Amino acid sequence: MAAQARTAEVPEMTIDAIVADIGALVRCESPSHDREALLRSADVTAALGERVLGAAPERIVIDGTPHLRWRFGTPRVLLLGHHDTVWPVGSLERLPFGVEDGVLRGPGCFDMKTGVVMAMHAVAALDDREGVSILITGDEELGSPSSRTLIETEARDCAAALVLEASADGGAVKVARKGVSVYRVLVTGRAAHAGLEPERGVNASVEAAHLILAIAALGDRDAGTTVTPTLLRAGTASNTVPAEAEFSVDVRAVTRAEQERVDRALHALGATLPGAEVRIVDGPRSTPMERSASADLFARARAVAADLGLAPLEGVAVGGGSDGNHTAGIGVPTLDGLGAVGGGAHADDEHVIVDMIPERIALLRELIADIRTGGGR
């Protein structure tokens, strides 16, 4: 990287214009499960991108979910974001978009509509956009069921994937993410009258209790592996021995080896009660984004931040998954958490620090340029 200092200012852009763009996206509510709302959001996001970037996106609808892609030449740097949120339509009535005392608020502003706007403005500020691709998906909050293959295909030949998910505390980028597995454990027993002849039954609730204790014990705190039984359902009536039970299990693992260990252990479980049957369905949704996937990019980002005169950039590992897990999982160098600085994701206090937006856009712009030139200027 050249020693010549660069500026953290982004040319031809004012913070008021950026905030207005964020407001346009936040005011268009886009819960992941609402197809009509997602289509409206895709329209608003596409129009915004066309105005900022001077190019219309390719609209890709998979299983009814709209995704948007801007390509400038053959992709070498992929910017990833999503326009869906966890907030149901009507949330704006209770939590309206607004800015007060330098803090921007509104459902979905932090996770991650500000990041979407930042990606557009960063690319628009580049001297040369050749080799840059922006992919904005519509189902990330669901685990990217329709967009995962699209993401992996777009990233496969890229030198880097930069994920515009919100930053960690204090603006730290995310250098590692746990892999995510979600299972359903289905238990079959045999119904009987709970008062007249319970001994004729096979109690699926009791079998589920045995399994829950065994499964919870698969976690490994030292390895950073969490195994958490969550949703639970059993039985049909209070006076009937339950013939069926079902519960969900959430698994988070730092390494692929740990993820695979838990997967093998779950599938090796058998029933404790005679006559009960156990079936394990579903499994890994995303592989871990290990630190090795981000090490080089994080070093580049720290150098860029220093060159811009910004505060030292920190990197942290987090438990939640993102589309960065998918790009890292196929071997593409990935750096996550490059989006908004703020907090309160998925909560009523969701917010973005406005003064940090231009700095993050400048960091992203210069990091893209650095990757495209291999570290030279």
For residue 340, CA distances in Å to 21, 147, 265, 332, 356 come to: 14, 23, 39, 23, 8
Contact predicate 133/24, CB 8 Å: no
Other beta carbons within 10 Å of 57? 20
To the query of whether residue 350 is one of the catalytic residues in this protein, the response is no
In the annotation, is 84 catalytic? yes
Distance from C-alpha of 135 to C-alpha of 150, rounded to nearest angstrom:
9
DSSP for 150-218, please give it. HHHHHHTT-SEEEE-PPP-GGG-EEEEE-EEEEEEEEEE-B--BTTT-GGGSB-HHHHHHHHHHHHHTT
Burial class (CB in 10 A: 0-12, 13-18, 19+), 158: buried
- DSSP per-residue string spanning 10-77: PTT--HHHHHHHHHHHHTS--BTT-HHHHHHHHHHHHHHHHHHHSSPPEEEEETTEEEEEEEESS-SE
Catalytic residue among 140, 141, 207, 258: 140
Catalytic residue among 84, 111, 154, 258: 84
CA dist., res. 109 & res. 342, Å (int): 9
DSSP string of 259-278? HHHHHHHHHH---SSTT-EE
Q: What are the catalytic residues?
A: 84, 140
